[in-house]
């Protein structure tokens, strides 16, 4: 007796856990909400057709059947799509919802066409419509099966990968790193920050040139990252780094424009030369200001 009781307990627990998981999936995929919406909305639509169109305007009652089957098909398609699209593991890349939804639509169209023929007084074409719908359904299943077997992704399933967008660096873009103070004298940080600010301001006036803001550039002060890592972090093509060294009346400002694509100095493009011209002009102003 004890062994039999011990075997029944796990089965009850298993059933409870199965229904709990199933109910959780229904809530997660919003199946219950979908059913409630279609039942309430479908009832209102059927009442409108029955009470207004059929009773008042005297249209054929067959239209009530057409509306009913159309609503039923729409509900089935929505439930199938919500349920199977939430499946994470897809053996063989088979998407059941992509197969089932068109088949449901084909069956509904076949039923509706037969009803419409009856309303129009045309002799029933049930056999012909059924054969055409059946052949179209088989053709759709074969087509999608061959497509999935060949590994060709669905056009509707292609999603834009935002990570690829982040890898595309604008051609006309630059970040100015805070100039490093290598002066033996103390108190030159303000001058280095001022140089950085002035160069960012001048470069921002260049048409079609994307310049990282000063507040963002200042967060890179003293960073140990490499040039490609910095360019990747702020998504730019060029990186400008420099240093300021002052000893007595001698002032030396060094600036390097680096192409992050190959981590090389001295870019040969016209835009890069224009950037270096602006930097050279700022260096001259700084020297005149010091003297």
**pLDDT (tens digit per residue) in 203-225:** 888 777 888 888 888 888 888 88
- 146 burial via Cβ count (<10 Å: 0-12, 13-18, 19+): exposed
Percentage of the chain modeled with pLDDT above 70: 75
Nearest by Cα to 179 from 283, 270, 275? 283
Taking residues 69-81, report their average pLDDT. 92
* pTM for the structure as a whole: 0.48
Token reading at 163: 């990570």
Q: CA of 35: how far to CAs of 21, 184, 186, in Å?
A: 19, 77, 74
- The pLDDT of residue 226 is above 80: yes
Q: Which domains does the chain have, with CATH numbers?
A: 2-149 (no CATH), 165-290 (3.40.50.10070)
- The pLDDT of residue 46 is above 50: yes
Task: Please report the pLDDT score of residue 85 as a whole number.
Answer: 79
Token look-up 């239209």 returns: 63
- The pLDDT of residue 132 is above 70: yes
DSSP type of residue 92: G
Task: Please report the pLDDT score of residue 214 as a whole number.
Answer: 85
- The pLDDT of residue 50 is above 80: yes
**What is the per-residue pLDDT across 157-189, written as a single tens digit (0 to 9) for each?**
444 444 444 456 677 788 888 888 887 766 677
């Amino acid at each position: 007796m004890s062994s039999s009781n011990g075997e029944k307990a796990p089965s009850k627990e298993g059933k409870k856990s199965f229904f709990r998981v199933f109910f959780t999936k229904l809530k997660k995929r919003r199946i219950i909400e979908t059913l409630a919406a279609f039942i309430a909305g479908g009832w209102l639509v059927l009442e409108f057709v029955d009470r207004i169109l059929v009773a008042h305007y005297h249209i054929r009652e067959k239209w009530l059947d057409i509306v009913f089957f159309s609503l039923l098909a729409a509900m089935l398609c929505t439930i199938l799509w919500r349920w199977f699209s939430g499946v994470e593991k897809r053996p063989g890349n088979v998407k059941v919802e992509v197969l089932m939804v068109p088949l449901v639509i084909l069956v509904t169209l076949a039923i509706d066409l037969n009803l419409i023929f009856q309303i129009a007084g045309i002799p029933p074409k049930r056999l012909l419509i059924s054969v055409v719908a059946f052949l179209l359904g088989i053709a759709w299943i074969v087509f999608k099966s061959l497509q999935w077997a060949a590994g060709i992704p669905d056009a509707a399933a292609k999603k834009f990968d935002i990570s690829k967008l982040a890898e595309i660096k604008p051609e006309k873009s630059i970040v100015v790193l805070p100039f490093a103070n290598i002066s033996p004298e103390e108190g030159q940080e303000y001058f280095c920050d001022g140089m950085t600010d002035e160069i960012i301001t001048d470069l921002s006036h260049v048409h079609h040139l994307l310049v990282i803001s000063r507040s963002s550039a200042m967060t890179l002060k003293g960073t140990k990252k490499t040039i490609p890592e910095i360019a990747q972090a702020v998504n730019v093509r060029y990186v400008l780094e420099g240093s300021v060294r002052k000893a007595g009346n001698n002032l030396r400002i060094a600036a390097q424009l680096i192409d992050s694509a190959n981590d090389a100095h001295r870019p040969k493009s016209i835009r890069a030369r224009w950037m270096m011209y602006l930097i050279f002009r700022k260096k001259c102003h700084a020297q005149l200001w010091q003297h």
